[in-house]
């Protein structure tokens, strides 16, 4: 049975905040360079839209792999982000996840709608798309890294 409603629906997305403690003991974060608008060319957390047949965590894991090639990272839900104008495409609620990886599991390559994937020092981040600076700041406060 198909249901229809007269009320508008919000979009649901997920983002994956993946951290790496490299050999110099510095925390790095995985970012992708966006291939498409909005924010084409800007860096962002890997993420995207949730498909109808998957859980939020599965969507975050899938998006992480599709955009960076990175697998084997245990993701944990961090928080929801619902600023009304966080995405210029439409009303969007994002559920962010975080996880940690090791130097052995840190090979990445931009894929899908990511022009590039790179590890960045948390102390030298490029300008970020959407509200991803806010997501990283909240994670830093909660996770103490």
Dump pLDDT digits (tens) for 47-104: 999 999 999 999 999 999 999 999 999 999 999 999 999 988 899 999 999 999 999 9
Cβ-contact 59, 140 below 8 angstroms = no
60 burial type by CB count under 10 A (0-12 exposed, 13-18 middle, 19+ buried)? buried
Tell me which of 9 and 84 has the higher pLDDT: 84
Where in the chain are the domains?
Answer: 11-143
Considering Cα of 95, then 104, then 21, then 121, what sign does the dihedral take?
A: negative
Question: What's the CATH code, domain 11-143?
Answer: 3.90.79.10
Confidence of residue 124 (pLDDT cuts 50, 70, 90): very high
Helix ranges (DSSP H) in the chain: 56-68, 132-143
Q: Taking 90 as the threshold, does the pLDDT of residue 113 lie above it? A: no
Closest CA to 100 of 19, 5, 10, 23: 19
Cβ-contact 119, 30 below 8 angstroms = yes
- CA dist 16 and 65 (Å) reads 10
Confidence of residue 1 (pLDDT cuts 50, 70, 90): low
Mean of the per-residue pLDDT values of the chain: 94
């Amino acid at each position: 049975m198909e249901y229809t409603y007269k009320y508008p629906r919000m979009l649901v997305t997920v983002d994956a905040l993946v951290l790496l403690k490299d050999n110099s003991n510095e925390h790095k974060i995985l970012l992708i360079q966006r291939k498409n608008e909005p924010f084409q060319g800007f860096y962002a957390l890997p993420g995207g839209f949730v498909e109808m047949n998957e859980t939020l965590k599965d969507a975050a894991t899938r998006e992480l792999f599709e955009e960076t090639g990175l697998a084997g990272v245990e993701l944990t839900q961090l928080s929801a982000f619902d600023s009304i104008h966080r995405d210029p495409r439409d009303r969007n609620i994002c559920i962010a996840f975080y996880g940690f990886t090791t130097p052995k599991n840190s090979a990445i390559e931009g894929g899908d709608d990511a022009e590039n994937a790179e590890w960045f020092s948390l102390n030298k981040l490029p300008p970020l798309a959407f509200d991803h600076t806010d997501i990283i700041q909240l994670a830093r406060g909660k996770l103490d890294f």
